[in-house]
Amino acid sequence: MPPPNTLYLSALPFLFLFIFLSTSHFFPNQSSPFSLSLFKPSSPSPEVQIGQGIIVGTIIDEKYPAPVEAFLGIPYAQPPVGELRFRRAVKVQASDERVSAGKWGYIIGALGFLPSKLTFEENIVNLGLHDQVFLLQWVQDNIEAFGGDKNDVTIFGLSAGAHSIGHHILNYKEGTKPLFHKAILESGAPTSRAVHPYDAPIHAEQFALFLNLTNCSSPPPPSSPILECLRTLPSKSITTAQTAVFDTYNPSLRWAFQPVIDHELIHGRPIDVWKSGKWNRVPIMTGHATNEGTFYVPRQVSTSEEFTDFWRTLLPHFTESDLKRIEELYPDPETNQESVYREERNMSALGIGSQFKRLEASYAQYAYICPVLQTASIVSFSSSSTDKKQAVYVFHWAVNSSVLGGANHGDNMYYESFQESITSISERQKEISGVYHGFVTSFITSKGGDLDGVEGRFGKGVKWGKFKGRNGEERKGQNRKGKVGSRKE
C-alpha cells in the first residue's frame, strides 16, 4: 500500500499547516473534508479569534523540544454535502461558535477530480485544485491572527501533492500575485505522468463507468439529471463506485480522478506552459527517491514483451519506434549480460519476475525522477544566478528501507517529519532524519528560501548548494523570460 500523498502548507515564522491529498488509494473520512491544521509554539491561551469564530487549540508536548499549540481541523469551507457536492468550495459563515474539530481533511477521488465534458461544462473539473486555491486564500485572510506571515507562505507536497503544487506554480496570471512564496515538491512535478485534456478518451471511458456504477447515466444535457443524480446519492455509493473505477485502471497505472487541462487552472500541457516562460517564480526545493516505481509496477513481469506491453498500454500514442527506443534505453536483462537491470536478488523469495527491476527503473524515471529533474533544470536554467528568488535545491533520497523496495516513493516523508518510528531505529537513522528535517525547516523559515545556513541540533556545517545542472555546471545564457530554448531536458 503506497503512503498517502501529501500536500503541506506552511506560513511562518511559527506556523505549520498541512492537508493531505491522495490518489484514490486512500479515501478520506468524508464528514468534514474542508479543514486544516495549524501548529505554533505554545502560549498560555490556545484560542484565536478569526472572522468565522473562535478557534480553540490544544497543546502537544510529547517529545518535542518545546510544547506546540495545535489547531486541528479548522473548517475553511462548508462541507461538500448535498447540494454542495460536486461544486466549488463555499465560505464558512461567520458565527460566535467555538470550533475545536479534531480531523483534517481534503477532497480527492471522484469528488475532487471527475473530468468529463459534462463536468467541464458545469465548471467542476479540478475541484481539488480549486479547494487548494480556496485554502491558500483562507491563509491570506486569516494567518496573521495565528501569528503567521501571509507574505511568507510555503506550500509543500509529496507525490500527487507535488503535482498539485507544480500546477499552482504554472498557474500564472498576469498582474496577480501568487498566494504562496516558496514551494517544496517531493517526488512529483506538473509534468509527472500524463496530464490529459478534460475530454480525453481515457477520462471519458472512466466517467462512463463511474456513471454506470452509480446508475446515474441518463440523457445528456440540457435536461442533464446526471449531476442531480450524483448529488443525491448516499456517499457510500460514490465511494464504492470510485473504488471500482480506480481499481479497474490501477493495474495499468492509467489512474482515474486526476487533474486535467481545463484552461483555467491548468492552462495547457504542462511542458508547453513551462516553455511559455510564464510561471510563478518562487524558490523551489524538489527531489526524488531512487526506487520511485516499486509500489506501482506489476511485480511478476518476466518477459520483455510484457515490459513493452506495459508501456504500450500506458502511452497509447507512442509509436512502435518510440517503444523500441524505451527497450534500448533500458537494456533487456534476459538478452544483455551487461544490463544493469539483471536481477541479483532472490526472485522467488521476493515474489518478483526477472523484468521487475527494468520496469521499476523505467517507470520511476518516467513518472517521477525525470519530471523532478526537469523542473529543477527549467527553473534554474531560466533564472539569473543573482536572483535569489529563483533558488532551486534538489535532493536524491537513497536510504533503502527494504531489500525489495530499496528507497521507495514517499519513504523520505517519515524522515522529514522526525517521526519516532524512524528516530527510534538507531542513532544514525535519527541523525539522517534530523538533518533532512533541518534542511526542510530551514528552507521554510529562511527569507528567500536560502538553505546555506542550517541551524538546530542536526546538520550544522552541512552545505546543500543550489542546483546547477546535472554535472554541476553553471547555467549559461540565463534568460529571465524563462525561455527553455533548444536545450534538451
Buried b or exposed e, range 7-22, using 16+ CB within 10 angstroms:
bbbbbbebbbbbbbbb
**Run of H or E including 393:** strand 392-397
C-alpha cell belonging to residue 217:
447515466
| Closer residue to ligand NAG (CB): 109 or 482 | 109
Instruction: Find the shortest distance in angstroms from Cβ 427 to ligand NAG.
Output: 18
**Three-state SS across 100-169?**
CCCCCCCCCHHHHCCCCHHHHHCCCCCHHHHHHHHHHHHHHHHHHHHCCCCCCEEEEEECHHHHHHHHHH
Q: How far apart are CA 267 and CA 238, in angstroms?
A: 29
Q: Which is nearer to ligand NAG, 32 or 377 (CB)?
A: 32
**113 CB contacts (<8 Å, ≥6 apart)?**
125, 126, 127, 128, 257, 258, 259, 260
Q: Whole-number minimum distance, CB 447 to ligand NAG, in Å? A: 37
Q: Identify the CA nearest to 198 among candidates 127, 126, 247.
A: 126
Q: Is 235 a catalytic residue?
A: no
- The neighbouring-strand residues paired with 402 are 406
The rounded distance, in Å, linking the Cα atoms of 157 and 368 is 13
C-alpha cell at 483: 525561455
What end-to-end distance do the CA atoms of the chain give, in Å? 32
Q: How far apart are CA 136 and CA 132, in angstroms?
A: 6
Question: Toward ligand NAG, which CB reaches closer, 343 or 489?
Answer: 343
Residue 317's region, left for phi above 0, alpha for psi from -120 to 50, else beta, is alpha
Angstrom distance (rounded) from CA 330 to CA 312? 15
| Shortest Å distance, C-beta 309 to ligand NAG | 23
Closer by beta carbon to ligand NAG, 283 or else 405 = 405
Q: Min. distance of Cβ 247 from ligand NAG in angstroms?
A: 16
What's the min distance (Å) between Cβ of 274 and ligand NAG?
A: 31
Binding site for ligand NAG (CB under 6 A): 29, 31, 103, 212, 214-215, 217, 237, 291, 346, 348-349, 400, 406
Grid cell 467555538 in the structure block, residue: 98
Q: What phi and psi values does residue 105 have, to the nearest 5 degrees?
A: -150, 175
**Dihedral over alpha carbons 446, 449, 453, 454 (to 10 degrees):** 70
DSSP string covering 205-249? HHHHHHHHHHT-----TTS--HHHHHHHS-HHHHHHHHHHHHHHH
**What cell was used for 39?**
501548529
- Beta-sheet pairing, 47-50 with 35-41: unpaired
- Of 10, 35, 159, 380, the catalytic one is 159
Name the residue number minimizing CB distance to ligand NAG: 406
Nearest Cα to Cα of residue 160 among 109, 103, 203 = 109
Cβ of residue 484: shortest distance to ligand NAG, in angstroms? 33
CB of 62 to ligand NAG, least distance (A): 20
3-state secondary structure (DSSP) of residue 186 = strand
Whole-number minimum distance, CB 348 to ligand NAG, in Å? 5
DSSP state at residue 436: H
Rounded to a whole number of angstroms, the minimum distance from the CB of residue 202 to ligand NAG is 18
Catalytic residues: 159
